Structure 1
Amino acid sequence: MESQTVEHISECFIKPSHFPQDWKQTIHLTPIDLGCLSLDYIQKGLLFNKSPLLSIQAFLDRLKHSLSVTLSHFYPLSGRLATKITRDPQSYVVYIDCINSPGAKFVHAKVNLRVSDILSPTYVPCIVEHFFDHYKAVNHDGHSLSLLTLQVTELTDGVFIGCSQNHSVVDGSSFWQFVNTLSEVFQDDKILGSDQEETLNIISRSPNQERWFPDGCGPLCSLPFTHHDQFISRYEAPELTKRIFHFSVAALARNKAKANALCKDRGITISSLQALSALIWRCVTRIRMLPKDHIIKCFTTVNIRSKLKPPLPPNYYGNCSQAAGKVTTAGELLENDLGWAAAQLTEAIAKLDDNAARETLAKWLQNPSFYRTRRSVNPDMIIFGSSPRFNMYGNEFGLGKAVAVLSGHDNKFDGKGTLYPGRQGGGSIDVELCLCSNSMSALEKDDEFLDALNFS
């Protein structure tokens, strides 16, 4: 299967069908947006079975039309990044140019594989990485590359819709809001056939395009550089093994109950997600066989829209998340129990309030730093991204419910965990783990991990 290649049939650029009355030709990036410039694009996609009666050309035409209408609400995704540099006074400002762009990119591709070829293997096939555009691109490349690409890859009996969005323009919440709206537009003839003004009032959740800037930072957030080579870095990924683990509702409930029982004297209530994160953190640390005094970290990405005062609306469009977690030693983590680990993560997230978020941003303004994808083998960290709360399986595009959610090549490193809702629903969770091959083999034999995974 790995000898198969993805053949690109065609590509084009799609512009918004129209612009809202209050649209802006220039949108300035916030400190949180700017901090992502050296990260990779967000690449997530949906795999569907294909009916023999499906007319692929009719499907592609409708999807292009739907994309054009959806972009009228999410028009920044049709733009490009741009930089304005001045010397006196020195200023380096990166922003979204919403007008000088060919639009979002649309790719039609084919591969001679079946859906079962993607889902049957234990590990995620490497061919999936080529179901997305922007392979190995970083967000700063959005100066010349599209900020959004929709790639439709035909399988012999399936369709994969891969979406790549620039992470300096969106976070996970905004990413899936766009996909949810695209699916809504695709399925609703009324929206597709409405005039410009009506369309603005029909979609169920319009994005709020007013970028939020913290105190002490105006809409022109200047970086202390003269060239992007001073803060953009690129790395080659090591050989990684990627596997999606399916945790049932029953397995999560049992693990949560265990963590809470161990925390009964701590006055802390542990969620299913934090109990699962703690379990994975402990098990991966154990199989890595690190020295007791080795410093280790576990972080998760937290949506801070509701944590700010006043809170931002849930449909705030852009990046509005920060990392929260725990730093300790391998010895301390493994000498304590699951409840201790879960309590550390729960307390770290609880501490990420309005004051903490603003303090982090104030420090950033004093000394700007940039998130970087950790592609070197450095076994000291677990980072969880995405969220099982995002609406992924509600996107149908006339093809029925997706059979899987998959991600691309980018933002992967040894110790990355990507969280998805389980396809069976009900609160089940899927976790895509990326580990070096030796660590993955050891994890698959770890008694604590298998006991939690296989409970039903």
Structure 2
Amino acid sequence: MPLVHATANCTLHAVKNLDDADSGFLEQLIPDPDPEESLANPCMLQVTAFECGEFSLGAAIHHAMCDGLGATLFFGAVAELARGAEQVSLEPVWDRDVLLGPRSPGRVEAPVGDYLCEKGRNPYDDEEDRAFVREFFHVREEWLDRFKALMLEKCGQKFTTFEALGAFIWRAKVKVSDIPGDEMVKFSYSTNIRKALKPPLPAGYWGNGCVPIYVQLTAKELLEKPIWEVAELIRKSKRNASDEYVRSYMDFQEAHRREGVSAGKKEKPLSFLFLKIYIAYRALTLTTK
């Protein structure tokens, strides 16, 4: 596991308010491997020492290895050992091939077929698909509170931050993209399946414990629906992450590995990742990428 040593010409106290910190500075606290290097070293660490003697620990972890919760469990165990514990409080569990391996024989009994790429085409081969742009948007809690309170007033329902903000960003992205009204658009995201499985994954499982879920509408339907109805669709989609859906997705992925599995076909997906990034940045002593 490569370990990068770095220094910062300021104190940790000077950047503790991450909501106001410069995003470029935060990026410097995290290893930045290229795609080939990240495959060769799926976990890289960076220790940055500050002038005050304190330090931050940043990690770049390949998503194929574990998800955000898995990384948190792993580093929590490391922190316990660093503080002198002889044994971690939560025994780590791996066993991915047993817990999340495909069935034999495989069977697909849930609607996961929309994740199959077009035959003979990798969706990431086109130049247009590779033109990603990273932007940082700081959303203050008081803005979210007002937004969710407004939706509660309009429809009488309480929504999570993920549901409310996801609906807002999805609709805004489609609106500014000038997508034809009859074109299908997807809101694609990863959901935690640790408790959805029967039996649930062990509490100490630190591997990748998520599968993709999506909501799809035509662009016209999305833009014409009230925002709370869009948020409700996102909420309902979470219920699709049943044991059978997860098992079917794993079998589907194994059967179609060579054809490519992505957010699916020609529709324009919006992968919703910013909440994970925002939450990770709020803990400077464990900044993950």
TM-score of the two chains, using structure 1 as the length reference: 0.49
Q: In the superposition, relative to structure 1, how do residues 159 and 284 fare at CA in structure 2: closer, same or farther (>3 Å)? A: farther
The equivalent of 2:144 in structure 1 is 252
Q: Which shows bigger deviation, 168-177 or 118-127? A: 118-127
The 5 A counterparts of 1:58-137 are 104-110=1-7, 124-125=23-24, 128=27, 131-137=30-36
SS at match of 1:131: coil
Q: Specify the alignment match of 1:366 in structure 2.
A: 255
Give per-residue Cα distances to partners, 1:135-159, cap 9 Å, x unaligned.
33376x3xxx333221113455674
Alpha-carbon distance in 2 for matches of 1:390, 1:353: 27
Contact 2:197 2:242 (C-alpha < 8 Å) held by counterparts: yes
Describe the SS at the equivalent of 1:246: coil
Shift of 1:348: 0.9
Percent of aligned positions that are identical: 22
Q: Of residues 172, 175, 180 in structure 1, which corresponds to 2:68? A: 172
Q: Which has the higher contact order (CA 8 A, sep 6+)?
A: 2
What is the alpha-carbon distance in structure 2 between the residues aligned to residue 373 and residue 389 of structure 1? 20
Q: Partner residue of 1:240?
A: 133
Amino acid at match of 1:146: N
Q: In 2, Cα distance between the equivalents of 1:113 and 1:234?
A: 42
Q: Which residue of structure 2 aligns with residue 147 of structure 1?
A: 42
SS at match of 1:243: coil
Flag structure 1 segments of 5+ consecutive residues without an equivalent: 1-103, 192-198, 219-229, 396-401, 408-456
How high is the TM-score relative to the length of structure 2? 0.73
Residue 257 of structure 1, CA deviation: 3.5
Q: Distance in 2 between matches of 1:293 and 1:232?
A: 21
1:171 is displaced (CA, Å) by 1.9
- Higher helix proportion: 2
Number of equivalences: 265
Partner SS state of residue 318, structure 1: coil
CA distance in 2, matches of 1:273, 1:168: 23
Q: Within the alignment, does 1:304 sit opposite 2:201 as a pair?
A: no
Distance in 2 separating the partners of 1:364 and 1:251: 39
Query: Which structure has more strand as a fraction of its residues?
Result: 1
Q: Is 1:321 aligned to 2:216, yes or no?
A: no
Tell me, yes or no, if the aligned pair for 1:231 and 1:370 is still in contact at 8 Å: yes
Could you say what the CA RMSD is over the residues aligned between the two structures, in angstroms? Answer: 4.1
Unmatched segments (≥5 aa) in structure 2: 107-120
Larger radius of gyration: 1
Q: 2-side partners of 1:382 and 1:260: how far apart?
A: 25
Q: Specify whether residues 137 and 276 from structure 1 end up closer, same or farther in structure 2 by C-alpha distance, changes over 3 A only.
A: same
Shift of 1:121: 7.8
Q: Counterpart amino acid of 2:92?
A: P
| Corresponding residue of 1:339 | 228
User: Which whole-Å deviations, capped at 9, do the CAs of 1:278-313 have from their partners, x for residues lacking one?
Assistant: 122122222333332333211221011100112112
